[in-house]
Amino acid sequence: MSQEAGYTPLTRAQLSEFRRRLAKYYGAFFVFLIAFTVVLYLFERAGLPHRFIGYAFIFLTLLLYAFIGILNFTRRLEEYYVAGRRVPAIFNGMATGADWMSAASFISMAGTLWLLGYDALAYIMGWTGGYVLLALLFAPYIRKFGQYTIPDFVATRYGERARLARFVAAICAIIVSLAYVTAQVTGVGIIMSRFFGLDYRVGVFVGLAGVLVCSFLGGMKSITWTQVAQYIILIVAYLIPVTFLSAKLTGVPFPQLMYGKALSEIGQLEQAMNLPAYVQPFKQALSNSAAISAFKQIGITPPEPITVKDWVGTPWQFLALTLCLMAGTVGLPHILIRYYTVPSPKEARINVGWSLFFIWLLYVTAPAYAAFSRWEVLQNVVGQPINALPEWTANWIRTGLLKITDANNDGILQFSELSINGDIVVLATPEIAGLPFTIAALVAAGGLAAALSTADGLLLVISTAVAHDIYAKIINPNAPYGRRFLLSRLMILISAVIAALLAIPQFALIVQLVAWAFSLAASTFFPVILLGIFWKRANANGAIAGMIGGLITCFIYMFWNYVDPRFNVLGLSHLSAGIFGMAANFLLTIVVSLATAPSPKYIQDMVDQLRIPVGEMRLPAPGTAPGAAPGVAPAGQD
């Protein structure tokens, strides 16, 4: 039987038993993680050097990921691409949470809040709001469609020009995922440079070994079960330091409840130091400083420094970025394919609920990280003699991510003389709080887990876009499965190396790189999938024109504003370029669809069926669809 012929769904009793076994395994792992941390702490107190503690955490977690990957090795297509469609909602929620909470969320979000204050809340609101859209508009319908990839969805829904629609969607998926995975590799490089003392560029390639361990072996099946373990590590690692910091500064170990007090203290310190208010909204000017830095690193003549303050005080950038991140969330291929892995459309909706809960645990804590870290720095670092600063400052100065200059030669650190890269705030918090190095190493392991878990999913999207969508569905439909698997794994390796090369210049903060990926996803997939589900009149010509037009529009605005911020509309930065790409995509899809012939009747019937998000998708009767066969819809019938 063909490996694409379908799968055998689990009964309710089998699913329940499977869920109990998983709870037992991962519960045991949680207990082991806590015990391992305590043992290392005791060794630290006995004099074990810090570098060995760091090695122990990193190697233990990488070995764990390798073990899960080997244990779930598969050559079955259904398991390689969609984990056999048997992942219970709660565990898929944890896997989705790990997939979602990338280096941007774990490492960079709190740092962005540290630097930008109120304006950075657009990231939390946009990413969280995106999941509401996902639950309402996409998740159950995507699951009911029952494909392997998002280009599969596009090719099947816009089946009258399936090959071209699939090809365009595959190229878009590769571009979006490559931008996103570059941010994850940047995070891996930062962690390796601090905790292993490696050069950042070397750390990028060493960290990639961890990525390949997870994604090389068992595709989506091994990635899913690895991501569940990674979620446990990252959420434990994220919550512990800020809990201790809150207890240290306020006496209450609940940072989520106490960061209001931190903001109050920050306000008083800022007033005493004559600093601008941290919580004042809409205060970010447009600048091309990131472009100048990146151009210098890759040997290109940088543009002249430009700062545009015309739109400071207006809400347009904040609103546009929030909307862009919401739409981008719904359009990200590596998140959407997670809904193929659950047993039913009902489980897909439940899965979104669990995903939101697991993500909420981190997102509600990120502002507290920023507030408590800023309070500690303003209170105990700024205003101190430069030759008597805390030890953690020296550790991070060596990485080049923290810079101190005594501009007025008075030997006292002023706030303006302190330059902190936002990507170090979370990683440095254990040291800022005076916690044992064991906790700092645990946080590094958590950051690594966040970066690796997201990188795995993104590399899988890129590899399947090439091996499944372009090669097996367009170039060589008769290719044997062994060759398809080989090509898929080869593409994981190639795309990982390309991402590492792109990460070396550090084009922007991690969170900004991720914002680019969201803009690209909002400009390409969000409109065509939304209209594909809810508007029968949308056809292949419109979808193809929409994806191409949206992508080009987004790229033009993004690049032009990145280099020269004087090019802007209502003060929107390159981070919000997806607004324009999304508008172009909607406009082109609708206008071209109305100007050309409607989709064939079998596709319109398919859309009617899709709108009832229960059960499995069934093809129209034999003979009414080109190449259709009765039964469960095969992946991407071309």
**Residue 521 pLDDT grade (very low, low, confident, very high; cuts 50, 70, 90):** very high
Read off the pLDDT of residues 310-339 as tens digits, 9 standing for 90 and up.
999 899 999 999 999 999 988 999 888 888
Rounded average pLDDT over 291-295:
83
Domains and their CATH numbers in the chain = 19-287+315-510 (1.20.1730.10)
Distance CA 399, CA 397 (A): 5
pLDDT (average), residues 593-605: 94
**Whole-number pLDDT of residue 507:** 65
Prediction pTM value: 0.85
What are the tens digits of pLDDT across the range 96-110?
Answer: 888 878 777 888 788
Q: How confident is the model at residue 511 (pLDDT cuts 50, 70, 90)?
A: confident
More confident residue, 457 or 586: 586
Residue 154 CB partners (closer than 8 Å, separation 6+): 165, 166, 168, 169, 528, 529, 532, 543
Q: Residue 452 is encoded by which pair of tokens?
A: 């690796």
Write down the pLDDT at residue 624.
52
Q: What is the mean pLDDT of residues 134-149?
A: 85
User: What pLDDT sits at residue 633?
Assistant: 43
DSSP 94-158: HHHHHHHS-HIIIIIHHHHHHHHGGGGHHHHHHHHHHHHHIIIIIHHHHHHH--SSHHHHHHHHT
Across the range 377-400, mean pLDDT stands at 86
Taking residues 62-77, report their average pLDDT. 82
Q: Say yes or no to pLDDT of 625 above 60.
A: no
336-380: per-residue pLDDT in tens?
888 888 888 888 888 888 988 998 898 899 999 889 988 988 988
- Predicted confidence at residue 509, as pLDDT, reads 63
Closest CA to 53 of 68, 65, 71, 38: 38
Confidence of residue 7 (pLDDT cuts 50, 70, 90): low
Percent of the chain with pLDDT over 70: 93
Q: What pLDDT is recorded for position 456?
A: 81
pLDDT tens figures, 242-251: 898 888 889 9
- The overall average pLDDT reported for the chain is 86
The pLDDT value recorded for residue 635 is 42
Partners of residue 397 on adjacent β-strands: none
pLDDT at residue number 33 = 92
What does the pLDDT read at residue 433?
78
**Separation CA 604–CA 573 (nearest Å):** 39
Q: With 50 as the cut, is the pLDDT of residue 637 above it? A: no
In this predicted structure, the answer to whether residue 439 has a pLDDT above a threshold of 70 is: yes
Are 131 and 581 a contacting pair, CB within 8 Å?
no
Per-residue pLDDT at 505 exceeds 80: no
- Between 197 and 625, the more confident residue is 197
For 198-222, how does the pLDDT look when each residue is reduced to its tens digit (9 = 90+)?
Answer: 777 787 777 777 667 666 666 788 8
